[in-house]
Amino acid sequence: MNLLAKETLLSLICFALAGLVYSAADQIPPSLLAQVSAGLVPKLLAVCLALLAAINLVLVVFRTTTRIDPPAGFVNAGHYRMLALLILLGLFTALLDQGLLRFPVAALAFVFTATLVLSRPSWRAVLIAAAIALLSVGLTVFVFTRVFTVILP
């Protein structure tokens, strides 16, 4: 399977996943205490995923240059990083599901570790990952607790 076919298939899978997420978010019952429905954020994420899939599909369709596929047996470090992120996501989900960590702590660890996995190893990368993790989790907690008035686990 060539690269264009893989990217097309990935876009179609993302469309299907976005539809499933939106449908599941539509089934979330509205809260009587919250000003914003609990399904709003998953619906927004599903719409964003669908938009990104559409943009990728348009780029694939209108691509004028063809890339050379890597030779057989070629393994890119990106595959290992993707696998590490998938394992990290599973660990993050398990820790939250079992109640071993609260959301802000688990999210901080997840964002920090994911940023380190995706960057080149250096002290600067560690400092940048820490700044990204603190800023993103801090803003997320602030927006959900103060703006949307959602109680985080």
Q: What's the predicted TM-score (pTM) here?
A: 0.59
pLDDT in tens, 8-26: 888 899 899 999 989 988 8
Percent of the chain with pLDDT over 90: 27
Q: What's the rounded mean pLDDT across residues 42-58?
A: 90
Percent of the chain with pLDDT over 70: 88
Residues 81 and 153 in one domain: yes
pLDDT band at 152 (very low <50, low <70, confident <90, very high): low
Residues 141 and 84 in one domain: yes
d(CA 132, CA 134): 6
Residues 146 and 86 in one domain: yes
d(CA 12, CA 4): 12
Instruction: Count up the domains in the chain and report the number.
Output: 2
Residues 6 and 28 in one domain: yes
Residues 99 and 138 in one domain: yes
User: In which domain, by residue range, is 113 found?
Assistant: 77-153
pLDDT in tens, 67-83: 666 666 666 677 788 88
pLDDT for res 131: 94
Which run of H or of E encompasses 150?
none
pLDDT for res 71: 66
Report the alpha-carbon angle 108-141-119, nearest 5: 30
Residues 101 and 124 in one domain: yes
pLDDT in tens, 79-97: 788 888 889 989 998 988 8
Residues 41 and 103 in one domain: no
Q: Are 116 and 129 in contact (CB under 8 A)?
A: yes
Q: What's the rounded mean pLDDT across residues 47-67?
A: 84
Residues 88 and 35 in one domain: no
